[in-house]
Structure 1
Amino acid sequence: MKEKGNRDITREPAIWSITTDRIVIAGILAAITICITLIPGIGFIPIPNITGNATIAHIPTVIGGIIGGPVVGFFSGLIFGIMSLLHATIPMFKDPLVSILPRIFIGLVAWGVFAALKRLNTDLAAIMAGFLGSATNTVLVLGMGLLRGYVPLALLPTVLPQAIAEAIISALLAEVIVRSYSIVQRRLVHAPETKNRDELPY
């Protein structure tokens, strides 16, 4: 039985509402996204292929969609897209339709996958949400790049190893972070109590 006041991330009422918790989560994840994209070699890792960079900067957006819902996922993806545009070193990512628009869907997909699978198993839901959220980034960015004429169709297979690596990293981190967040929210981690709950200082 849950204690009064505890929240359960597997049961989020009013998914499209803007709450204080979601504003805080969105702010924190936006700050993390900005920081890791500004530090060279972390958010965007230079590699010699058509994308120019591998990235882990989409992971806060994935996490935002999972723990904060679609509103947080949308906002986090928007911030990621804007930072991608500002960081752009190749023409493809200087186009907002490539650098910003696809990123809006990362958190929405992560939220949708997690919401669909969480009743089966929370860990599995987080892993799949992380994997498919990352895949959304790759597929939509390259798809838009292809439609806009920046990406030759013949070169798309060269991105596959990068895409798989990013998706696996995203899946693993999503599972770890969501599990940790869930534990904290449910207050499952605490020292043995020798006093009544009302007498404890926490």
Structure 2
Amino acid sequence: MESKDKIFKQVLIALFGAIIIIQNFIPFLGYIPMGPLNLTIIHITVIVTALVFGTKYGSIIGGIWGIITFIRAFVWPTSPLAAIVFVNPLISILPRILIGTVAGWLFKFLTLRTGKKYLSMTVAAVAGSLVNTILVLGQIYLFYRGHSMALYHIDIQALLPYLLGVIATNGIPEAILAGILAPMIAKPLRKMMIDRIK
């Protein structure tokens, strides 16, 4: 019985990995184009995985997304900036892994402290999303601020306000969306997993 449950769990994790791959290559399933940038919704899949299966698997699914982002930067970038900044694995891979790490860990921690699973899911989802946004944009500033004129057509003094503007227009809506959708998806999936074990 235990081996069947393990296989069932592995199949679901493989399914989430397949969803991540599909979201990366079918327009509007993973990215919503908004001018030179894209509103990302792939992070919700990573967060749901972390909330349902834990930190380890959330980090693995996030890592799959990161590796795809890294490869796509060379062969089929999602935006003009992606071809320049996402060739750096610290920007393309690390933040994606940490979405699952932070969301999974924070959910477990808050659930143990408060006992309120749905609220814990919401907070963990928002935090996971913001970790991705802040790390990606923060590292872009750290590594590429000297090339701001070439990349963004703005002076280095205007780069930080520009990136903060991206957080406001992209990062915050992405975090709000994650906080709403991830718990709605994760809660019934967790119940299904618990019922399956019973």
TM range (shorter): 0.7 to 0.9
Q: Does 1:58 align with 2:65?
A: no
* Contact in 1 for aligned 2:48/2:183 (Cα 8 Å): no
| 1:99-110 equivalences in 2 (<5 Å) | 99-110=92-103
Q: Quick one: which of 127, 131, 134 aligns to 1:132?
A: 127
User: Contact conserved, 2:69 with 2:86, CA < 8 A, in 1?
Assistant: yes
SS at match of 1:149: helix
Counterpart of 1:127 in 2: which secondary structure? helix
Paired amino acid for 2:160: L
Contact 1:25–1:64 (CA<8 Å) still a contact in 2?
no
In the superposition, the TM-score normalised over structure 2's length comes to: 0.77
* Counterpart-to-counterpart distance in 1, 2:137 and 2:12: 29
Counterpart of 1:85 in structure 2: which amino acid?
A: F
The answer to whether structure 1 residue 98 and structure 2 residue 83 are counterparts is: no
Q: Which of these residues, 181, 186, 189, is aligned with residue 189 of structure 2?
A: 181
Q: Could you tell me which of 133, 137, 144 is aligned with 2:139?
A: 144
The alignment status of 1:41 with 2:28, answered yes or no, reads: yes
Match of 1:114 in 2: 107
| Count of aligned pairs | 169
Cα distance change, pair 22–141 in 1 and its aligned pair in 2 (3 A): farther
Does 1:156 find its partner at 2:181?
no
* Richer in helix (by share): 2
**TM-score, normalization by structure 1:** 0.76
Structure-1 separation of matches of 2:161 and 2:22: 34
Q: Is the 8 A contact 2:49 2:100 kept in 1?
A: yes
Extract unaligned runs of 5+ from structure 2: 149-158
Two-structure CA RMSD over aligned residues (Å): 2.1
> What is the CA–CA distance in structure 2 between the aligned matches of 1:171 and 1:180, rounded to whole Å?
16
Deviations 1:35-75 (A, max 9, x none): 111101321222235xx211101111111111111210111
**How has the CA–CA distance of structure 1 residues 132 and 80 changed in structure 2, closer, same or farther, with 3 Å as cutoff?**
same
The CA deviation at 1:85 is 2.1
Change (3 A) 1:59 1:66: same
Taking every aligned residue pair, what percent have the same amino acid on both sides? 34
CA distance in 2 between counterparts of 1:21 and 1:147 reads 43
Structure 1 ranges of 4+ moved more than 4 A:
19-22
Aligned to 2:65: 80
